[in-house]
Amino acid sequence: MITLSIETSCDDTALSIIKTSSSKKMDYSNFEVLSNLTTSQIEAHKPYGGVFPAVAKREHQSALVPLLIKSLKKANLLKEAKIIDSKKISRIKKNLEKNEDLFLQLKEFLTKYQLKDINKIAVTIGPGLEPCLYTGINLAKSLSYYYNIPVVGVNHLEGHILSSFLSPNEKLELPAIALIVSGGNTQLIYFEKIGKYKIIGETRDDAAGECFDKTARILGLDYPGGPEISKKAKDCKTNKHNIVLPRPMINEKNYDFSFSGLKTAVLYHTRKNKINDDYVKEMSFEIESAIVDVLVSKTLKAVDEYGVKSLLLGGGVTANQKLIKEFKKKTKVRLFIPHKKYTGDNALMIGLVSIYSPNVKKIIKPISNLKINE
């Protein structure tokens, strides 16, 4: 079974091709990665200090087909077309009338190449930005229609939950708690078994990654904010400004998060102080510490109270070294952290879900606020 997977939920265009054995057991040895490519849009969004949906959609449309060709070539599956179905191309043109740039590239691809060896297409259907999701879904549905290949929809967050399986590791013992933390999501999930999850806590406003981005913008740092704040925090050698930020909801009995108040506290503090390099380093140190303290405290509380055997991390913010260090120091159960290249959005995790989870959907439409198990 060879699966082509597509991920366009936000600002990364990603495609992957996986070859799997007949076994349905979730095991690293049961699948072979033929290609796994991602195109970043960071430079396109830097002027905005965050992801601008219209720009993201445009970038996806430009990148998808070239990335598809590159993926197939890397997997040694790029083959010339023997038959061209003009009627199907005309139908695809009609369906993509609002996505002309994507269609023109796709038309050239369909007249040159075939996907004869691909058995299934998997695509992210949410959560995410709808203009971005539609772009990936449109490509998936067009390829499915033209080549008569089954297509399934995958929950992006479930991909992050299973991303720990993308690197060889110890055997996962269930039940587990999964912390998914990124630019758009901050959730604590009770993981009973593959395909069965329960959200036990989530952000009530800004996600942790969003808080990093917004506070970085206040300090005049580049997008994405998380890595920039971490760099400044690492260089912090002073505490002249005695900065103390709140740890929102850290002592509340629930597992929910709130980071908008932290962002507001940073804004008010900067208005009262002269922003120089030392100030930015000290503030960055405190921002990172506050976010990490809340994430670690809430997560370990859930681990203890649910009596789980494992803890999984997923999402772009889990690449933060301070966060990893704190979890390694304080976690008493088995800790699973994806390889750094799999913490962010990638298509490989989408393909993995499509193979091993019962939650895949046959009806493909984007859902901006898709929940686990929906």
Provide the H-helix boundaries in the chain: 42-45, 53-74, 86-95, 100-112, 130-147, 156-162, 208-218, 225-234, 260-271, 277-306, 321-330, 347-356
Contact present, 279 and 239 (Cβ < 8 Å): no
Mean pLDDT of 67-82: 95
Least-confidence region, from 92-96, 150-154, 171-175: 171-175
Domains of the chain (ranges, CATH numbers): 2-160+344-356 (3.30.420.40), 170-337 (3.30.420.40)
Mean pLDDT over the full length of the chain: 91
Distance CA 203, CA 144 (A): 36
Residue 61 pLDDT class (50, 70, 90 cuts): very high
Flag whether pLDDT at 99 surpasses 80: yes
pLDDT at 96: 92
The two three-digit tokens of residue 115, written as one number: 């996907």
pLDDT at 24: 58
Flag whether pLDDT at 23 surpasses 70: no
pLDDT at 363: 60
Contact present, 265 and 214 (Cβ < 8 Å): no
pLDDT at 171: 77
pLDDT digits (tens, 9 = 90+) for 136-169: 999 999 999 999 999 999 999 999 999 877 766 6
Flag whether pLDDT at 266 surpasses 90: yes
pLDDT at 22: 61
pLDDT at 25: 61
Mean pLDDT of 108-131: 93
Mean pLDDT of 270-287: 95
Least-confidence region, from 38-47, 161-170, 325-334: 161-170
Tell me how far CA of residue 167 lies from CA of 33, 133, 157, 319, 335, in angstroms. Answer: 11, 27, 18, 15, 13
pLDDT at 33: 92
Residue 224: cis peptide before it, omega within 30 degrees of 0:
yes
pLDDT at 201: 97
Mean pLDDT of 306-315: 95
pLDDT digits (tens, 9 = 90+) for 213-254: 999 999 999 999 999 999 999 999 988 899 999 999 999 999
Mean pLDDT of 92-117: 92
Residue 361 pLDDT class (50, 70, 90 cuts): confident
Distance CA 110, CA 129 (A): 27
pLDDT at 341: 85
Mean pLDDT of 307-314: 95
pLDDT at 42: 87
Least-confidence region, from 6-15, 43-52, 91-100, 253-262: 43-52
Mean pLDDT of 199-216: 95
